[in-house]
Amino acid sequence: MALNKAKRATLREKFGGRCAYCGQPLGERWHADHIEPIVRNDWLKAPRGPDYPHRDTLENMNPACPPCNIDKHSMSLESWRDIIQRSNDVLQRDVSTFRRAVRYGLVQLTSSPVTFYFERLAEPAPKEAP
């Protein structure tokens, strides 16, 4: 689906000009991400349409910063969430600078569940005490 200027502007403001996933302000060059992927895996081998063309709708899109959209690639939200959730383990295993930063208290590990920005916006506000 090609987004015209009006649809692209509407999508950009879906979450107040912020990335639906990390919540950072969108810059000039932002991406329209398919929430449920349309999957274009064979584009290098033989040009063809997406595997799920019925998902190519404005309702199935979120505004995303380039790093989030590139990292998500053609994964479902839950698959991507699982990968992000394992970041501490991967960093501890693979990056000696990170392990040193943890040892010296420069970085603190948490096991908080990954909650995307659009999910935090949808959570009800805490009720005030009487």
Give residue-wise pLDDT tens across range 81-96.
Answer: 999 999 999 999 999 9
Reply yes or no on whether the pLDDT at 58 is more than 70.
Answer: yes
The pLDDT score that the predictor gives to residue 38 is 84
Q: Are strands 61-64 and 31-34 parallel, antiparallel or unpaired?
A: antiparallel
50 and 56 in contact (C-beta within 8 Å)?
Answer: yes
The pLDDT score that the predictor gives to residue 47 is 65
Reply yes or no on whether the pLDDT at 108 is more than 60.
Answer: yes
Neighbours of 126 (CB within 10 A): 6
The pLDDT score that the predictor gives to residue 42 is 62
Rounded to whole angstroms, how far apart are CA atoms 106 and 113?
21
2 against 112, higher pLDDT = 112
Neighbours of 58 (CB within 10 A): 13
Looking at residues 37-63, what average pLDDT do you find? 77
52 and 39 in contact (C-beta within 8 Å)?
Answer: yes
Rounded to whole angstroms, how far apart are CA atoms 53 and 16?
28
Q: What are the structural domain ranges in the chain?
A: 5-122
Q: How many residues does this entry show for the chain? A: 130
104 against 52, higher pLDDT = 104
Confidence category of residue 111, pLDDT binned at 50, 70, 90:
confident
Positive/negative CA dihedral, 112, 118, 124, 127: positive
Phi-psi region of 126 (alpha: psi -120 to 50; beta: other; left: phi over 0): beta
- pTM beyond 0.85: the answer is no
